[in-house]
Homo-oligomer: A and B are copies of this chain.
Amino acid sequence: MSPGGNGPTTLAELGEFALIAELVRDLPASDEVLLGPGDDGAVLAVGGSVVVSTDVLVEGVHFRRDWSGPGDVGRKAVAVNVADIEAMGARPQGVVVGFSAPGDTEVRWVLDLARGLRTECAEAGVNLLGGDTTRAKEVTLSVTALGTLDGRAPVRRSGARPGDVLAYAGRLGWAAAGLLVLGRGFRSPRAVVDVQRVPVVPYGQGAVAARAGASSMVDVSDGLLADLGHVARASGVSIDVSTDAFEIPETLETVGAATRVDPILLVLTGGEDHALAATFPPGSVPEGWTTIGAVTEAAEGGPGVLVDSSSFAGVPGFDHFRPGARR
């Protein structure tokens, strides 16, 4: 089937099985894929244990077709989920993808999305292991990612200890800045709009952090303060973020000036960047990571996140069922 020719143009015309055949055609696979798509399940060689995480992306909630092309949607679906595997200190190995869409969805759109999935799998160094396609009223992508710890212990949210240093790798505030300008009808600065469409996950840095001895790690999906809040509560500590430690990129300064939003707010509370934030014993922050704070005993109000040693008054993150709610 050639989507550019006189072939079927909608999913209903193409049919489920022809669609799947298109989606898995010439799929690359590493030696670790013992069995790829086409059977009831795929088989992946793992080192004794497997790390697994799943994410669902829904049209209108996690992406908008008028803001993101299909390739971006596919890339984002892989990126956000592989980031979770990285955040466990694991090496991402593979993903399976559940895809549902209306029957009148254009085949070309779906194939572009599939290309995006493959592109990001290549970026992340993971195998596309299989999936499921089905009809639905809205476009939904559910990605489950698998990875191996290569014999290491998982880096959990609960391991931060007083005296540890807080550091991050990746980008912070870029996706929120992109959302801000898109929401106001602009398409620039291009750099932040691109990151809103496809987060730039610091692939490989999860395992780097684990090898360096990270005591806790999380990927920043809801916002730095919100996600560090999970770490602080799970670890029973306070985490003090120093705003002075951030070098605000010029692009974020530009967006801040144009929208009258303090760019440090974007950095501290913006979600969807999927940077990695981790705590390390003093002196063990690996290269490529930026130190941005410290872990202390739980403050008087209990475990939580402080900004410049004070409690933060804003909204630290996002709740899917209560988009306006504070948490």
Residues of A within 8 A of B (CB): 11-17, 19, 34-35, 38-58, 60-62, 83-85, 87-88, 90, 94, 96-100, 103, 129-138, 140, 142, 144-147, 149, 154, 156-158, 217-219, 234, 319-323, 325, 327
Contact = CB atoms under 8 A, between A and B. Distances in A.
Contacts of A53: 40-42, 96, 130
A83 B83 CA distance: 29
B41 A51 contact: yes
Given A12-B322, A41-B52, A56-B132, 16 more contacts: A15-B325, A16-B320, A16-B322, A17-B319, A19-B321, A39-B154, A39-B158, A41-B84, A52-B146, A54-B98, A54-B131, A54-B142, A56-B142, A133-B320, A140-B140, A144-B144
25 contacts: A34-B49, A39-B156, A40-B83, A40-B88, A41-B84, A42-B51, A43-B88, A43-B154, A44-B50, A50-B50, A52-B96, A52-B129, A52-B146, A54-B96, A55-B132, A56-B100, A60-B137, A62-B134, A96-B144, A98-B144, A133-B320, A135-B320, A137-B138, A142-B144, A144-B144
Nearest to A45: B49
A33 B275 CA distance: 27
Contacts of A135: 58, 61, 320-321, 323
Contact of A15 (B35, B145, B319): B319
Nearest to A13: B322
The listed residue with most B CB atoms (<10 A of its CB), out of A55, A129, A140, A323, is: A140
Contacts of A56: 98-100, 132-134, 136, 140, 142
A320 B149 contact: no
Given A52-B42, A96-B53, A96-B54, A15 B134 contact: no
Nearest to A12: B321
Contacts of A35: 154, 156
Contacts of A60: 137
B48 A98 contact: no
A17 B222 CA distance: 12
Nearest to A88: B41
Nearest to A101: B321
A88 B15 CA distance: 25
A130 B145 CA distance: 12
Given A43-B49, A88-B40, A54 B156 contact: no
Contacts of A219: 40
Given A48-B46, A53-B42, A319 B218 contact: no
